[in-house]
Amino acid sequence: MPQRPLTRRAIPANPIFMGLDFSTQGLKATFIDAAGQVLAEPSVLFDTDLPAFKTEGGVHHHADGLTVTAPPLMWVAALDLILARMQKENLPLAKVAAISGSGQQHGSVYLRCGARARLGALDSRLTLRDQLQDVFAFDAAPVWMDSSTSRQCRERDTALGGAQAVAELTGSRSYERFTGNQIAKIYQQHPKAYAATDHIALVSSFTASLLIGTYAPIEPGDGAGMNLMNIRTRRWAPAALRCTAPGLAKRLGPIVPSHKVVGHLSRYFSDRCGFAPHTQVIAFSGDNPNSLAALGLARSGDIAISLGTSDTVFGALSAPKPSATEGHIFGNPINPQGYMALICYKNGSLTREAVRNEFARGSWKAFEAALARTPSGNGGRIGFYFKEPEITPTVLKPVIYRFGPDGRPTRFTPEQNVRAVVEGQYLSMRLHGNNIGLVPQKILATGGASVNKSLLQVMADVFGTPVHVSSQPNSASLGAAYRALHGWHCARARGFVPFEKVVRAAASFTPAAEPDRAKHRIYTAMLKRYADMEKRVISISAQSVRGQGRDISGA
Ligand code: XUL
């Protein structure tokens, strides 16, 4: 998307909208005009721009190897810094009509009694950081990379009737990084600090609170990442709160629809930075729900496959199928009755690149030629390439498995390896996506590897659906900016307005591959064998977890 610098000399006649994305590594703002055109994108990187917080990749890894946290004051300081940069760049902040935002999912911030009053009485002569140093009951916010709460997950399973029951109620089975399990750990290990906590926010609702000068509510896109919200009613599930910690409902506050105005920008920002005093703040959501908004996925049947460092498959759903084994169901931030499903793979581009380097001389051209020389279905050969421990399905050690048409471990030629890694990844996405209700009618391919046409052709053939690509990046801050525009329209209409009616820019996709029906039939026949082999792989890998990662069948 072309970008033009936004200066006072180029102030658009119409209002502009801002999305703020507090990701794991940094803070980015995206400014758009009312047509959804991107105008400016200032950013801050935590490690390098705020070195005093001594983070690595925006987080602190603790000595137990499981606990991962981030200092919430760093997010406050990042907001100070990005606002200063916006002023320095002369961005016309007075033109901003509405702001929404995005936060890394699952992270939680614990605010002590008195924090609300402090947020509401900020002095515009001072930085936010100077005034908010001591509002935290904990200086460390657990984040999504934390996996220290297995005990609390098992306690939740027991209290709520097992993993499938937790998934049915909250949209996901108990996951270590999910906020409810983090809150339970804090309550158990630091009861005094928990007692002193007045309010618990997600990264998204905390950063919205900074803007509106009081506690901002949580919305269903991010609220679903806590194991605490009833995924169907979009309210807190009393049984899930009870087994977490006492007095939790009042500490969490309400859940509101994602398009709702949660407040107006507090006076601090108009006095200090020149925003208009009536600037609306629309509920902030998680980064994945905001990425869904960036692609405009409001209805069932459109799914996005993001081919990046890790691959993700996500899409809108009307009838959720929560699973005890995989994936997540979240609220859909652009459709208040709808849902979104997400599955995440650790073995994405780096694994494809490793196979390219080993079997295609490190060249994408040679990789594509190998794909062209081998038949769809690879003559019945199926491969599993886990260069990294995998989460979909759970495979804890790096390992490679190659099976011949007779189901026995075997060797592959270099080109068979190339085809096997690509087909295996897409068969897995079709299988696991289907398990949580993601059955595409159209696929939007995003992420770095989506420029590779031959990868997209195999994708279209495996799924049997057309594949489109977008000029839009798969970007949470852009999605947040679109949601600001959407929420502003809803507020003006005093009711919900369909997202696609007011954010037309979100759906600009171009066709990239059409499925070949005969090849699709080959993949459909292969899917059952793939699923059976995957079960074998999971069981072999679980048994060998104490051994070293290995390649069991050679090249
Ligand atoms: C999703 C998840 C991550 C974080 C990253 O469940 O844990 O995608 O949201 O920011």
Q: In degrees rounded to 5, what are phi and psi of residue 459? A: -60, -50
Q: What is the pLDDT of residue 56?
A: 94
Check if 177 has its Cβ closer than 6 Å to any atom of ligand 1.
yes
User: 103 CA to middle of ligand 1, Å?
Assistant: 9
Q: Which range is least confidently modeled, 89-93, 160-164, 283-287, 324-328?
A: 324-328
User: 287 CA to middle of ligand 1, Å?
Assistant: 7
pLDDT band per the 50, 70, 90 thresholds, residue 541: confident
> Tokens 């916010």 label which residue?
141
Decide if pLDDT at 536 tops 90: yes
Average pLDDT over residues 200-221: 98
Q: Which range is least confidently modeled, 280-284, 321-325, 462-466, 485-489?
A: 321-325
Check if 356 has its Cβ closer than 6 Å to any atom of ligand 1.
no
User: 44 CA to middle of ligand 1, Å?
Assistant: 20
Decide if pLDDT at 10 tops 50: no
Q: Ligand 1, residue 287: give the atom nearest the CA.
A: 9
DSSP 127-153: -HHHHSTT-BS-S-EE-TT----HHHH
User: 104 CA to middle of ligand 1, Å?
Assistant: 6
Check if 474 has its Cβ closer than 6 Å to any atom of ligand 1.
no
User: 154 CA to middle of ligand 1, Å?
Assistant: 21
Neighbours of 11 (CB within 10 A): 14
- Hey, what domains does the chain have and what are their CATH numbers? 1-346+440-516 (3.30.420.40), 349-438+517-545 (3.30.420.40)
Q: What is the pLDDT of residue 1?
A: 37
Which residue has a Cα nearest atom 7 of ligand 1? 144
User: 106 CA to middle of ligand 1, Å?
Assistant: 7
Q: What is the pLDDT of residue 69?
A: 97
Query: Max CA-CA distance within the chain?
Result: 74
Summarised one tens digit per residue, pLDDT across range 15-63 is: 999 999 999 999 999 999 999 999 999 999 999 999 999 999 999 999 9
Mean pLDDT of the chain, nearest integer: 92
pLDDT band per the 50, 70, 90 thresholds, residue 8: very low
Check if 288 has its Cβ closer than 6 Å to any atom of ligand 1.
yes
Burial of residue 312 (CB within 10 Å: 0-12, 13-18, 19+) is: buried
Q: What is the pLDDT of residue 325?
A: 86
Contacts of 88 (CB under 8 A, 6+ apart): none
Q: What is the pLDDT of residue 474?
A: 63
Summarised one tens digit per residue, pLDDT across range 112-124 is: 999 999 999 999 9
Q: What is the pLDDT of residue 153?
A: 96
List the structure tokens of 530.
């793939």
Contacts of 102 (CB under 8 A, 6+ apart): 19, 20, 21, 22, 23, 204, 284, 285, 286, 287, 289, 290, 476, 477, 479, 480
pTM equals 0.88
Which residue has a Cα nearest atom 6 of ligand 1? 105
pLDDT band per the 50, 70, 90 thresholds, residue 187: very high
Query: What share of the chain in percent tops pLDDT 90?
Result: 81
Crossing angle of helices 179-189/150-160, nearest 10°?
A: 110
Average pLDDT over residues 80-106: 97
Check if 300 has its Cβ closer than 6 Å to any atom of ligand 1.
no
Which residue has a Cα nearest atom 5 of ligand 1? 104
Summarised one tens digit per residue, pLDDT across range 158-176 is: 999 999 999 999 999 999 9
Decide if pLDDT at 455 tops 90: yes
Decide if pLDDT at 437 tops 80: yes
User: 383 CA to middle of ligand 1, Å?
Assistant: 27
Which residue has a Cα nearest atom 9 of ligand 1? 105
Which residue has a Cα nearest atom 1 of ligand 1? 105
